[in-house]
Amino acid sequence: MRSPLPTADDFTDFDVIRLDTDGALLTGGERVPPGRVGAHLRTLVDLPRGVTDIFVFVHGWQNTGRRADAASRRLFAGIRDLHAEDPARYPALDGFRPYFFSVQWPSQSLPTTAGYRKIRDRAHAMTTTGDAAHVMAGLLGLLDHTRTSPYRPDTLRTAGGQFLHCVGHSFGCRLLGEAIRAAASPDQRVLAWPWTSAHRFAVDSFTGLQMAARTDVFQHRFRSLVDGSAPIVGPVALTVSPHDRALSLWHQLPEGEPGLGARGALDARSVPLHRLDEPYTTDEFGKVTNVDAAWRFNRGPAALGAHSDIWYPETIHLLLSLAALSR
């Protein structure tokens, strides 16, 4: 596969969920009434036959609608194409057929401290006082209800159900984290990862690409994602690069410290971002794992640095490896 990832302008095999500045679900530019959100989501979720893995992607800072579409196409086509290039690299993904959802929200601002603070505050408000967490929790819950769940006692590693993977970039990681916190439901045990969740609904992996948050967020706000009380059963994998100027500078000015994607999650184990010929293993991952991507994520404009320098086959290799390790 070419590096960086090709733009994949012709890739269309994904569905789009659009939110406004308050986190409300949109259709045709208009808000869906709260009482109709569930019904509208059901019209959007129609998984093709044979799907094995569902990927939900939430973009980050500085994305117009057009840029969000382009980022989604690039990521999703990369997942499809890297697996197709060498399926033997991921033997657990036999019969792999992914499907994709792109969650899009208004994240454009000036590349300044004030602009960063504006989108930081918007992402927080959308998921706390706004509707975004509930809409996305509804999407994740509906996907869980619609999919053939792989969580069957003693048969997880061979069951033919779909696995659910959440991928966020920048502030998109916050939106996903809040959605997972909000998606609580009854008891469930999984077998592939060595942890349990107290919920029937379960996300199999959560990857945060250059997450815009405090380094201690998983010890406080998102603690439930890693202590077994939120509906996530796989690891939280977080890419880290000190070349990320947006998180080294723009995050530090209002927050008083560099952001997680520049420094890593506090007290988490660390693993290097692997090259394509280097397989990942289950024992490399803790419930929260920093993935040191400094060797790969190191370029970008002066204002943002490597904050969006994520479009590499090695990024896709991480996502596919987590999907494989979920079996």
Cβ neighbour number for residue 121 with a 10 Å cutoff: 11
- Indicate the residue type of 73: R
DSSP annotation of 305 reads B
- What pLDDT score does 187 carry? 34
- What pLDDT score does 308 carry? 95
- Domain-by-domain residue ranges, the chain? 14-325
The C-alpha atoms of residue 128 and residue 122 are separated, in whole angstroms, by 10
- What pLDDT score does 192 carry? 47
Q: Which residue has the tokens 């998180």?
A: 247
Contact 313, 3 (CB under 8 A): yes
- What pLDDT score does 49 carry? 86
Residues whose CB is less than 8 angstroms from the CB of residue 140 and which lie 6 or more positions away in sequence, other chains included: 56, 164, 166, 179, 180, 183, 201, 203, 231
Q: Could you tell me which residues are beta bridge partners of residue 151? A: none
Render the burial of 272-311: b for 16+ CB within 10 Å, e for the rest: ebeebeeebeeebbbbbbbbbbbebbeebeeebbbbbbbb
Of 86, 100, 88, 30, nearest to 58 by C-alpha is 100
- What pLDDT score does 42 carry? 87
Residue 214 structure tokens: 């405090």
pLDDT tens, N- to C-terminus, the chain (327 residues): 888 999 999 999 999 999 999 999 999 899 998 888 888 888 888 888 889 999 999 999 889 999 999 999 999 999 999 999 999 999 999 999 999 999 999 999 887 888 888 988 898 888 888 888 778 878 877 877 776 555 543 322 223 468 999 999 999 999 898 888 776 443 333 334 555 444 445 789 999 999 999 999 999 999 989 988 888 888 999 999 999 999 998 888 888 899 999 999 999 999 999 999 999 999 999 999 999 999 999 999 988 899 999 999 999 999 999 999 998
Q: State pTM to two decimals.
A: 0.90
- What pLDDT score does 194 carry? 53
